[in-house]
Each structure stands twice: as structure tokens, then as C-alpha cells.
Chain A
Amino acid sequence: MSTTLLHSWAATYRKKRWVVWIVVAVVMLFALKTPMETHLTQVHKELRYGNTRHILKMRDHLSQEMFLAILGGFRGVSADIFWILSHVDWERQLFFRMDKRMDLTLMLQPLSMHYWTQAAWHRAWNMSYAARVDPHEPKETVRLRNEMRWIQAGRETLERGLEVLPESWEMWRDYAWLLKQKQQSYLEAAEANRRASELPGAPIFLRRQVADCLYAAGKHDEAYELMRRLWQEGEVHHVPTFRKRIPELEAELKIPPEKRIFPR
């Protein structure tokens, strides 16, 4: 009986053996799926791709269609649409709506350095200025407070951006520029310029900016040391500002004539 059954199975197998091979091949291919996906997840993590948690946080701010579009692979296009709409809001001076849309863009594409720097510039320069000259606000103190708030918002935008893209010298440069120009926080600006200047691809003038910020912060001895070092590095740093400031500092800090770059 059992022999007959075995023969029957064997006969079925001979007829349908291709089915067995296909099943084996399918199982093998699906068995490969998980390790391949795990490897790709690792690669994407290393490259800092994707931002699932940010996208999920945005659910309340988006329509169903937009949310599906984002999840369906059209994140870049969605971010561009929000950015264009925020630009329209800027032209219409609808700053709070613009602020919201810029945030959505930044959440969708946090790897875009350009969006971070542009959003910070809009907040710290354009929106803050609009708040300062707001014709609908009669109290000057309120206008100034609002201006400060927008500047702070611009600063925080760049700080958030720097958490995501700490290797971007452009963002450190813009951060330093904001600290110097808008908050007069010269020491912090010097530090930001130093960070920017140490990154690959950074322009050489950022090193001079460090000295400039130290000087503005009242750290004249440190500023002089740096200016002196840069001057001695070569022609590239022999700029008019240094030509004027180094002798001033040498006089102020009473540097002995033999150690001066510009002896009297």
C-alpha cells in the first residue's frame, strides 16, 4: 500500500517537478529579500536618507492626498510645491502662513541646505524687517520685540539645519553672518566662522572673518594673534582691513617693535 502511494507521489513529482523547482526558486528569492532590504536600510541610514518620523509628525498639517503623495515617493515635488507657495505668501506679505509652509518644506527635505539657509534668511531678514516697519502696529516696543522674535526664529532655523547638516560650511557661514549682523553676538559668530573655515571647500576669507569677529567682540589680543598668523601665511591674507587693523592693534597692545609686522 505504502509502496503504491510512494510510486504515485513519485509519478506526480515527475510530472510536476517543474512546479517544485519554481516553488524552490520563489522561496529562495523571498528568503533573499529580508537580508537585501536590511543591507539597503543600513546604506540609507549611513547616507541619512528618509525622515519617517518627521513625515508622520506632519500628518495633521497635510491633506490626505498630499500625505499619500509624500509617502508614495513624491516628497521632493511636494516640498517644491510648499516652497513655491511660501514664495507666493512672501509676495503677499502673509508671513505667518509663509512661516508654516517653510517649516513643512524643511520637514520634507531636511537634507536640502539651500532650503535651510533661505528659510533662515527670510525669517531673520525679510520677516524681521517687515515686523519692524509694520504699519498696523503703533507701538514701537512691540514692533521691536516682533523683529527680535523673527531674528531668533531665523537663528533657530539654522541651528536645526546644522543638526542635520553639520558638514555644510555654507550653513555655518550663514549662521555666523546672522549672529554678527542681526544679534551682534560676535564671540558666537567667531566660533561659527571657525567651524565653517575648518570644513572642506570653505573659502579662505572665512578664516579672516574669525579674526574680524574676535576684534568686534573686544578680544583684541586673540584677534591680533590670529591676524598676525594669517598675515604671515602669505599674500592671500594681505587685505586692506588687516593692513589697517594690525598696526592699530600693535599700538594698542604695545607689541615690541622687533615683534611687530608693521614696525614704526
Chain B
Amino acid sequence: MKNPNPLAPAADPLLMFSLGRVWAIAANTMTELIRQKVFYVFLIFGIVVISSATFFSQFTPEDQFKFIKDFCLGAISIIAMIFSIVGTALLIPAELERRTIYTVLARPVFRVEFLLGKFLGQVMILLVTVGVMSVVFAGVILAKEQVMVAEARAVFAATPAEMRVPGDSAESQVERIHRNAWDSNLVKAVVLICVKYTLVTAVTVFVSSFSGSVVFITVISFSMYLIGHLQSIAQEAWAAQMDVFRKGFLVVVGLLIPDLQKFNVVDEIVLGKALTWGQTLFTSGYGVSMTLAYLLLAWLIFEFREI
């Protein structure tokens, strides 16, 4: 059912473009995703992983908090990756399979509105999931901190004065625990995770714009995700040894696929080597511009797609 005139029903789509319709589709998509049981399974799985990060009590306080932060941010990233690739891959093919897309597009709804609505619905669910997991993450850190502070005070009180380290006090130990537990830079890590997986969602929407197979979309999107991580490594490590043909191929890949390593700063943030807010915003700006580019490409392809 090809649309003979992609600009219909208006002469200029920008004049008639309705954010209200986009919001209606986005809200509908979000409701649809929330009603799926798999959403809760993944969310509960993520929360369980985050909560289990507190089990390593035989390590030093520095180790324990590092483990909690690494495991929690890792769990958030994994769940966000699954949502942004698998969740998004199901969106448009499911509409095609159920034929509900025809009832939507038969109304005065532009294809771009449909596509954007689907994307925003998925991004909202991604943000809600990351938000919920981040709150649990903060709760886990708080709980661990309280337990460790209580332990430190008890151990200090039980230690005879002559066996204490000179200059040491219960408060200095509490301060050390507090310093290891809380780091405002973790907010930057969560922001960059959100931006990265919003971009991955846009890449998956782009692949969905020309394919109706869930398996194909998932595999291609996941491959693009891996290439996105590998390309800068390939450029740095192997570019010098490559022939012109391969180098050219690498340049093309570098031009078309976003470099996802640029968002891979979570480990360094956990180690206390954080980006400034300016650098975080610049990285986010890079992510947003790439998201926009992939959405525009998806629109272009989806507009002319035979449905």
C-alpha cells in the first residue's frame, strides 16, 4: 500500500506536523510495552542483579563500593541494551504483523509521526527503566553505607585505645566510607547511559524502517552496536597495518556508524576520573546529533517503503 504522495494530506508536512499525534502514538507504545510481561521480567532481573552487588563483604570498603557501582551500572547498561535493541526491533514488525499499522496510517497521520511516536514511546520506557534502576542503585549504596558505618563504629568502640592507629577516629572512618560511597559524578554516568541507548534505539528504528523481520533487525542492530564499539579500536590498533582498500572500508564504516566507545566512560567515572559537565554535555550533544541523523534517515526510508 504505497502512499502515492508522501506529503499528503498537506502540501508541506512541516506545517501540519502534529506533536499531539506523536505524543498519542508514543503514549500508546509505552502503554503497550508496559503491559508486556517481559518488561517486568527484565526490570526485576536488573533490580535483582543490582541488589546482589552487595554480597562481597569480605573485600575492602573501596573494593565493595567499586563492585556495587560497576555491577549496578553494568546491569543498567545490559537492560538498557536489551530494551533498546530487542524492544525496538519488535515495535514496527509487530504493527505490520498485526496489521494495526494500516489502521493508523489510514488516518491523517504522517509516517514520520508514526515513526517518531514509536521511537519516543520506546525512549520513554527506556528512561523510566533506567530511572527505576538508578533509584534502586542509590538505595543499595545507601543501605551498604549504613551497614558499613554501623560496623566501623562498632569495631572502633571495641578496639582498645592502645591498639588504635594514632590519629584515627570513628568519624574519620565514617568519612572514608562516605567518600567511597557517594560520588555526584555517577549522575553523569547515568546521563551518558541514557544518551547512548537512545542512540542505539534510533539505530534500531533506522534498521526497522527497511526491514520487517525481527531477527534481521535484532542481528543487524546488535552488529552495529558491536561495530560502534570496535571501530575506534580498529582504527587505533590496526589502521597502520592495513592496505588502502581495507583502510577505505574502515573510513566508510567510521563515517556511517556512531562511535559508541565515546560513551564508554562509566568505568573511568567509577574510578573517580570523571568528565567535566561541559565534556559530558558535548558527548551528549554528539549522541543527540547522531540520534537525529538516524531518525531522519529512518524517516526517509520509511516514507517510501512499500507497506
- The answer to whether the Cβ of A77 comes within 8 Å of any Cβ in the partner chain is yes
Contact B74 A76 (CB under 8 A): yes
Cα distance A68–B285 in the bound complex, in angstroms = 27
Set of chain B residues within 8 Å of A53, measured between Cβ atoms: 236-237
Contact A76 B259 (CB under 8 A): no
A118 smallest CB distance to B (angstroms): 8
What are 29 A-B contacts with C-beta separation under 8 Å? A18-B7, A22-B299, A23-B300, A25-B292, A29-B289, A29-B292, A30-B256, A34-B255, A37-B286, A39-B282, A40-B262, A40-B286, A43-B282, A48-B273, A52-B236, A71-B226, A71-B233, A72-B229, A73-B264, A75-B267, A76-B74, A77-B71, A77-B74, A80-B66, A83-B63, A84-B67, A87-B58, A112-B271, A118-B63
5 closest A-B pairs by CB: A29-B293, A76-B267, A77-B74, A76-B70, A36-B286
Neighbour of A29 across the interface among B236, B283, B296, CB < 8 A: B296
6 additional A-B pairs beyond A37-B286, A40-B286, A71-B230, beta carbons within 8 Å, are A22-B299, A29-B293, A72-B225, A77-B74, A84-B56, A111-B271
Chain A interface helix/strand/loop/mixed: helix
- The answer to whether the Cβ of B125 comes within 8 Å of any Cβ in the partner chain is no
Neighbour of A73 across the interface among B255, B258, B260, CB < 8 A: B260
Neighbour of B300 across the interface among A26, A33, A47, CB < 8 A: A26
Contact A73 B66 (CB under 8 A): no
- The answer to whether the Cβ of B184 comes within 8 Å of any Cβ in the partner chain is no
- The answer to whether the Cβ of B181 comes within 8 Å of any Cβ in the partner chain is no
- The answer to whether the Cβ of B232 comes within 8 Å of any Cβ in the partner chain is yes
Contact A71 B229 (CB under 8 A): yes
- The answer to whether the Cβ of B275 comes within 8 Å of any Cβ in the partner chain is yes
Chain B interface helix/strand/loop/mixed: helix
Interface range for B: 35 or more
Contact A30 B67 (CB under 8 A): no
- The answer to whether the Cβ of A128 comes within 8 Å of any Cβ in the partner chain is no
Contact B262 A80 (CB under 8 A): no
B294 smallest CB distance to A (angstroms): 9
Map CB proximity to A onto B74-100 as digits: 1 under 8 Å, 0 otherwise. 100110000000000000000000000
* CB-contacts of A60-94 with B (<8 A): 68, 71-77, 79-80, 83-84, 87
B235 smallest CB distance to A (angstroms): 9
Set of chain B residues within 8 Å of A33, measured between Cβ atoms: 255, 258, 286, 289-290, 293
Task: For B56, give the chain A residue with the smallest CB separation.
Answer: A84
